[in-house]
Chains A and B, each alone.
Chain A
């Protein structure tokens, strides 16, 4: 807990109250303990209290359980990452204790379940250990039948007590959460919460109180990246989609399946990913940009069809929530290793648009941006997120939905004539007319994956192939010219520029701030538009001695991660170098800085 500033002394037998600025709480147990829901409650509570919040979780890929953690970082100020070290570890089992004790800050608190955990003697000095018979007290509070259920809510009560959180609000959240379930369920949960909250934390010397956060002008919402992206898709006006389930993408399809009926839309669960992308493309041909999505293995299956959409120039939104790969890989871990398949995973010359949102909030707005690019340039657009951004919870300002929601219904007004693949169109941009459109000339277009003439009929002419290939390329070059130049975080000139994409933005920014505090000349840059790249990056790079591309992927055969290789190919600048790791975990701030340091050493 940073800044234990003003410590108000309170009456002697009561614990000391310390004002804190932020706290990182890691809850470790098994997935069936409802670890995620404690984290969810804390995150939501923080959002309502106008606190900044960021969470991080790992869940096992098998449903029958297995170790699971949820880490939440709450702050009265800005939160960039989920935090390297925990101020508090709540350990439900011995394995939770053993595996996570190293993540606790020296002097931090370890709250453990005495029914399952035997704390280590040699660590008694280093951490403040507080035992509580969480399991047995939960059973006592809510009755013997509950078994392991309810332990999470009991633990939530303990945390609420420790951080002096607003228990009335938490009660409200609990009641909301179980709305629609029998009343007894809510009552049981509340009993568990009260039991935890009322537990005399006798060995706890302090309780903590958050400083009042700065008031905001907008309301906050709290959700995961997957939720933000799914709602963004709805805001963008998408009403049809299809997919096949796969972790960590499934949440999005489930949400769309649940919500689309309200808008008279349809989300189809397809028999496989090839069918899914094909259904989405068929619906897009119908005149309204549709969505499909998956994670790595499914994206591989979709690639032939995406190539068709490139060739036929059909707008399409494709979501890739990356996980550890290749193959089935590490389904519930993070990795940024699908950049290549997103940008280049097609046969033939098949340029497509790839965008990587860098925060939960960005997921929402990127969905809208992507749909608009797909429509304007008549092209597939792939949004690359990853397991970390998909599952973490962040708070952000309530979007102005009235303003951002858009209607993208097809325009079926009659045309005099229509040439879908008009070579003289500005920047080579195709605009299709959807089936259902009456064309007075009586000449109707065909959309096709064969090389074609301007009406979409097959052409084997070498000149036509050259011209059409250039057309498909030049429209994306036009897009590249239109993209905003990204902004450097930190000064625009200095020694090191760390470049990242997607979910690592927070860690890189926090690393930048930390380094600058100690006098190191480091800035960072997030590239959201991966393909095409925005213009002006070379100007940005010219302000630095070193450009280190920090990625959550392997250094590959030649020492460069996937974005790094793309940037080197694009700018042929040898100061662009890679900092990579393939442990399928998020980047810790400390590790980023250590690696920058050693990279600088190597370059000496």
Chain B
């Protein structure tokens, strides 16, 4: 599409990919996600204009400002439908969506389910810190029971949602879990998600050092925890097995829980369109419309 194919372009450097200096707190898990996103883009040789970075609102959602590429910082909770708009209308682009747990599962909960069910071809990485970071420590839909926040000063009382199980039951076709403390694993999940055709969802544990320090120590070997990778025996096409594996929230398992191949929203729409396009082949748009107007004579 763009007239840039003349010369072989080199993959972008990290410097070329970086835009604003991230405004995250020192030690925030979100830094690793950004660093590995750069790495992914470099590894895949994706140029600035070939992809779109979309986010909602939250600390994690400030992502697009830090990436030197076409980006959109949309409203709280609605990044997925916005990204659906660009993904269905501009299928030449790779669409990446980033956001937080509140953005994804609370205010945007319904969109998450429907985007998964429609299998919109895009990659969605939720940086789950189990807390509302930007608004300074309120309970999030993934906060564990007992977590003391500014809205549950005596400890959270509502059952947290289970992102893996929700994604599987909603119909996502790629469901994976990773953590910011294991860069190699994080990158491999991002690569697998990008290669997947359809709605690819990654939950990346991403610690909020400011408001929920130590939340994921139990999964971090450097903090005395255990990084439990999903065993090779697990069959990711087995929905029930995937669902059972996802029972434990933290530390839980890491890797691809579930992956199946199902036609994407884009494929399905194209299939519908192809039948009509056969009939309108060679016609100017106004001639197609004229047929409708002739029927109204």
Contact = CB atoms under 8 A, between A and B. Distances in A.
Contacts of B47: 438
A290 interface: yes
Interface stretch (A155-163, A218-226, A330-338): A218-226
A280 interface: yes
A412 B1 contact: yes
B135 interface: no
B73 A47 contact: no
Interface stretch (A265-273, A471-479, A551-559): A265-273
Contacts of B1: 412, 436
B85 A439 contact: no
Contact of B277 (A261, A268, A458): A261
A457 B280 CA distance: 44
Given A304-B75, A446-B65, A401 B290 contact: yes
A227 B54 CA distance: 35
B78 interface: yes
Interface centre among A44, A443, A444 (most CB of B within 10 A): A444
B276 A279 contact: no
A448 interface: yes
B168 interface: no
Given A263-B280, A278-B82, A447-B72, A436 B90 contact: yes
Interface string A42-55: 00100110000000
B84 A279 contact: yes
Nearest to A413: B3
A60 interface: no
B64 interface: yes
Interface stretch (A104-112, A234-242, A372-380, A569-577): A234-242
B88 interface: yes
A405 B284 CA distance: 10
B92 interface: yes
A491 interface: no
A444 B110 contact: no
Interface in B252-297: 269, 272-273, 275-277, 279-280, 284-290, 292-293, 295-297
Contacts of A263: 280, 285, 288
B110 A398 contact: no
Nearest to A403: B286
A445 B52 CA distance: 11
Interface in A425-467: 434-439, 442-450, 457-458
Contacts of B293: 221, 231, 398-399, 401
B81 A278 contact: yes
B241 interface: no
A222 B296 contact: yes
Given A261-B272, A305-B78, A447-B72, A266 B49 contact: no
A284 interface: yes
A438 B4 contact: yes
Interface in B131-167: none
B82 A401 contact: no
B68 interface: yes
A261 B292 CA distance: 14
B75 to A, nearest CB: 5
A285 interface: yes
Contacts of B93: 435-436
Interface in A274-293: 274-276, 278-288, 290
A439 B78 CA distance: 28
A285 B289 contact: no
A181 interface: no
A436 B74 CA distance: 19
Contact of B72 (A220, A402, A438, A446): A446
Contact of A282 (B48, B51, B82, B114): B82
B48 A281 contact: no
Given A259-B292, A272-B110, A308 B75 contact: yes
Interface in B57-84: 64-65, 68-75, 78, 80-84
B19 interface: yes
A261 B87 CA distance: 17
Given A268-B84, A275-B81, A282-B83, A439 B48 contact: yes
B231 interface: no
A460 to B, nearest CB: 11
B114 A275 contact: yes
A449 B73 contact: yes
B3 A282 contact: no
B111 interface: yes
A278 B296 contact: no
A209 B205 CA distance: 79
A591 interface: no
Interface string A393-428: 000001101101101000011100000000000000
Given A264-B277, A435-B86, A438-B2, A447 B289 contact: no
B90 A287 contact: yes
B296 A439 contact: no
Contacts of A220: 297
A262 interface: yes
A398 B290 CA distance: 10
A116 to B, nearest CB: 34
A262 B81 contact: no
Nearest to B285: A405
Interface in B32-49: 47-49
Interface in A284-340: 284-288, 290, 304-305, 308, 312
B90 A435 contact: yes
Contacts of A401: 286-287, 289-290, 293
Contacts of B269: 261, 266
Given A219-B297, A261-B273, A436 B92 contact: yes
Contact of A286 (B51, B80, B89, B295): B89
B48 A290 contact: no
Given A281-B85, A305-B75, A437-B49, A443 B68 contact: yes
Contact of A278 (B3, B4, B85, B272): B85
List of 9 A-B pairs having minimum Cβ-Cβ separation, nearest first: A282-B85, A435-B70, A278-B81, A405-B286, A275-B81, A283-B85, A282-B82, A261-B276, A283-B89
Interface of A: 44, 47-48, 176, 219-223, 227, 231, 234-235, 237, 239-240, 242, 259, 261-264, 266, 268, 270-272, 274-276, 278-288, 290, 304-305, 308, 312, 398-399, 401-402, 404-405, 407, 412-414, 434-439, 442-450, 457-458
11 contacts: A275-B110, A278-B111, A284-B85, A285-B85, A312-B72, A412-B2, A436-B93, A437-B2, A438-B47, A442-B68, A449-B74
